[in-house]
C-alpha cells in the first residue's frame, strides 16, 4: 500500500481513488501534491514545447517541468536540449527571459556562462580555484530523456521512463489526425500565447478539458450570445453522436466527429486547401482529416484541439494554484486567411478574456473552495459507468457527457502514485 504523510497524518494514496469516485484530498492536500510532482511530473513524460517555438540554432524558451524551471534550447547541431535552469555555482537561474536567441546563458550572480547545450564555458577569475577544479563536470544538468512526436516535444527527468511512443499508444493516432490537417505535414506556433492563473488544483483543468457534460451549463451565457449573433441554436450534447474516450495511460479524447459542431465554416481558399490535402494524403485520408473534430488530453499536461487550432499546457504551481498557457497554431501549407480564422477561435473562446474559459476558471475556483469542506469526502465520476464499452486497443468509450475520460485519468493517477507502475 502506497502511503504519504497528508494534512491529517498518514494517507494511503491508493485508497483515494475508487471506481467512479475520488477523494477530496487529491485537490487540497499539499503532500499529495508533492507526491504528484515526484511520481507524475518527474517520473513520467511531460510536454515541454513545440519544436517550431525554437526552430533556429540558439533559440531558447524557458518553461517548467512540474515545479522545476527548465530552458528548452536549440543547439547549432539542431538538437533540442532540456536544461535545468540552475547555475552550478550557487543555484541562481541562469536565464530569466521567456524566449530568445543566444550563444550562451550567463549567470547574473558571478558571471559563470554556459553554452546552449549546457557546457560550462566561462568561470571568471579561474585562478581562484585549485587544480582539481573540473569545469567539464559543472555543465548545466539536463533532462535525460527528450523525444518529440509530430513536433510536440516531451521530456522526462526519469532516465528509465521508456519510449514516448509507447506511453502515447493510440493517442498518437489522434495527434496524427490533428497534424495531418496541415497540407505541409506540420503545425507551426508563432502567434503568441495566452496565459492565465487560477486558484485551484491542476487536475480541475485537465479533467475539464475532456468533460463533455458541463458546456451547456457552465457556458450557457456564451452559447446564448452566439445564438443571438448567428441565429444558430446551440446544439445539445445530450443525444449527440460525439463520444468521450479514455485512452490507455491516462490520455483522453472528446470526439465530435459527425456531430453538428464538426461542420466548420469554409472560406476563401477552401478549394485549394482541399486540393493540397488530397495531393499529400490522398482523397480518403483528406476526407477523414477534414471531417474530424477532436480534442485530446495527453496526460498529464497537454491538450490539443483541432477545431480552433490551438493547444494548451497546464503548469501546477501549488496544490491550489495553476497556470495555463494557450497557443494558437497554424497549419503549414494552409491559407493565411484560414489559419487566422481558426486561430481567432482561441481568442474569443479560450483566452483569459474570451467567452468560454473564464466560465471554466470560475467553476474550478468554486470547486477548490467547496472541496475544503471535510465532512463530504468524495467527488463522483460515475456517470456512464453502466454503459461504457472497452475497445480492442484498450480504450474505453462512452457518451460525450459521460465521465469515462475522468475515470481513465484517475486510474492512471492511481497507478503512477502507487507502485502500480
Q: Which residues contact ligand FES by CB under 6 A?
A: 87, 89-92, 107, 109-112
Q: Does position 360 bind Fe ion by CB under 5 A? A: yes
Nearer to Fe ion, 255 or 360 (CB): 360
Q: Binds 121, which of ligand FES, Fe ion, none (CB < 5 to 8 A, cut-off by type)?
A: none
Question: Is omega for the bond preceding 300 within 30 degrees of 0, making it cis?
Answer: yes
Among Fe ion, ligand FES, none, residue 360 binds (CB under 5-8 Å by kind): Fe ion
Distance CA 355, CA 344 (A): 12
For residue 399, the partner it binds in Fe ion, ligand FES, none, with Cβ less than 5 to 8 A by kind, is: none
CB of 312 to Fe ion, least distance (A): 12
Give the Cα separation of 207 and 301 in Å (integer).
Answer: 11
Kindly indicate which of the ranges 42-50, 71-79, 355-363, 375-383 contains the residues binding Fe ion, using the contact rule CB under 5 A. Answer: 355-363
By C-beta, is 92 or 121 nearer to ligand FES? 92
Least separation in angstroms between CB 363 and Fe ion: 8
Of 109 and 217, CB closest to ligand FES: 109
Residue 232 grid coordinates:
444558430
Question: What is the distance between the alpha carbons of residues 306 and 299, in angstroms, rounded to a whole number?
Answer: 17
At 125, is the secondary structure helix, strand, or coil? Answer: coil
Whether the CB-CB separation of 90 and 111 falls below 8 Å is answered with no
Least distance CB 121 / ligand FES (angstroms): 12
207 near Fe ion, judged by CB under 5 A: no
Measured from the CB of residue 142, what is the shortest distance to ligand FES in angstroms? 17
Closest by CA position to 206, among listed 373, 27, 65, 354: 27
Residue 188 found at the interface with Fe ion (CB under 5 A): no
Taking the complex as a whole, how short is the minimal distance between the CB of residue 112 and ligand FES, in angstroms?
4
Looking at the Cβ atoms of 93 and 235, the one nearer to ligand FES is 93
Gap between the Cα atoms of 32 and 11, Å rounded: 9
Q: With respect to ligand FES, which residue has the nearer C-beta, 123 or 264?
A: 123
| 212 contacts 242 by C-beta, under 8 angstroms | yes
Exposure string over 344-380, b if 16+ CB within 10 A, otherwise e: ebbbebbbeebbbbbbbbebbeebbeebeeeeeeebe
**Grid coordinates belonging to 334:** 494552409
CB of 62 to ligand FES, least distance (A): 16
Q: CB-wise, 360 or 399, nearer to Fe ion? A: 360
Applying CB under 5 A, which residues contact Fe ion?
360
Amino acid at each position: 500500500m502506497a502511503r504519504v504523510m497528508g494534512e491529517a497524518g498518514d494517507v494511503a494514496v491508493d485508497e483515494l481513488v475508487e471506481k467512479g469516485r475520488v477523494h477530496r484530498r487529491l485537490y487540497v492536500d499539499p503532500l499529495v501534491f508533492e507526491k504528484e510532482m515526484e511520481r507524475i511530473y518527474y517520473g513520467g513524460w511531460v510536454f515541454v514545447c513545440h519544436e517550431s517555438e525554437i526552430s533556429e540554432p540558439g533559440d531558447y524558451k524557458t518553461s517548467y517541468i512540474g515545479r522545476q524551471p527548465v530552458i528548452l534550447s536549440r543547439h547549432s547541431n539542431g538538437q533540442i536540449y532540456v536544461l535545468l535552469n540552475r547555475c552550478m555555482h550557487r543555484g541562481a537561474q541562469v536565464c530569466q527571459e521567456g524566449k530568445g536567441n543566444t550563444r550562451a546563458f550567463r549567470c547574473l550572480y558571478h558571471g559563470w556562462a554556459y553554452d546552449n547545450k549546457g557546457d560550462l564555458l566561462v568561470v571568471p577569475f579561474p585562478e581562484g580555484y585549485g587544480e582539481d577544479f573540473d569545469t567539464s563536470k559543472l555543465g548545466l544538468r539536463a533532462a535525460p530523456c527528450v523525444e518529440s512526436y509530430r513536433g510536440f516535444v516531451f521530456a522526462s527527468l526519469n532516465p528509465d521512463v521508456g519510449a514516448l511512443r509507447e506511453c502515447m499508444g493510440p493517442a498518437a493516432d489522434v495527434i496524427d489526425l490533428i497534424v495531418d490537417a496541415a497540407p505541409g505535414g506540420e503545425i507551426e506556433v508563432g502567434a503568441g500565447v495566452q496565459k492565465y492563473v487560477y486558484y485551484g488544483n491542476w487536475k480541475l483543468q485537465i479533467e475539464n478539458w475532456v468533460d463533455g457534460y458541463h458546456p451547456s451549463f457552465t457556458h450557457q451565457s456564451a452559447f446564448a450570445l452566439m445564438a443571438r449573433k448567428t441565429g444558430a441554436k446551440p446544439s445539445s450534447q445530450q443525444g449527440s453522436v460525439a463520444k468521450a474516450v479514455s485512452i490507455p495511460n491516462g490520455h483522453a479524447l472528446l470526439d465530435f466527429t459527425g456531430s453538428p459542431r464538426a461542420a466548420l465554416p469554409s472560406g476563401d481558399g477552401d478549394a485549394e486547401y482541399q486540393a493540397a490535402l488530397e495531393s499529400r494524403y490522398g482523397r480518403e485520408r483528406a476526407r477523414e482529416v477534414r471531417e474530424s473534430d477532436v480534442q485530446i488530453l495527453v496526460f498529464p499536461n497537454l491538450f490539443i484541439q483541432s477545431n480552433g487550432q490551438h493547444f494548451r499546457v497546464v503548469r501546477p504551481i501549488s496544490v491550489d494554484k495553476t497556470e495555463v498557457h494557450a497557443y494558437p497554431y497554424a497549419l503549414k501549407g494552409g491559407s493565411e486567411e484560414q489559419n487566422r480564422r481558426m486561430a481567432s477561435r482561441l481568442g474569443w473562446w479560450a483566452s483569459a478574456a474570451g467567452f468560454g474559459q473564464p466560465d471554466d476558471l470560475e467553476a474550478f475556483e468554486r470547486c477548490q473552495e467547496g472541496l475544503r469542506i471535510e465532512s463530504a469526502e468524495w467527488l463522483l465520476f460515475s456517470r456512464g459507468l453502466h454503459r461504457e464499452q472497452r475497445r480492442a486497443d484498450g480504450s474505453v468509450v462512452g457518451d460525450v457527457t459521460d465521465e469515462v475520460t475522468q475515470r481513465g485519468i484517475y486510474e492512471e493517477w492511481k497507478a503512477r502514485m502507487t507502485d502500480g507502475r
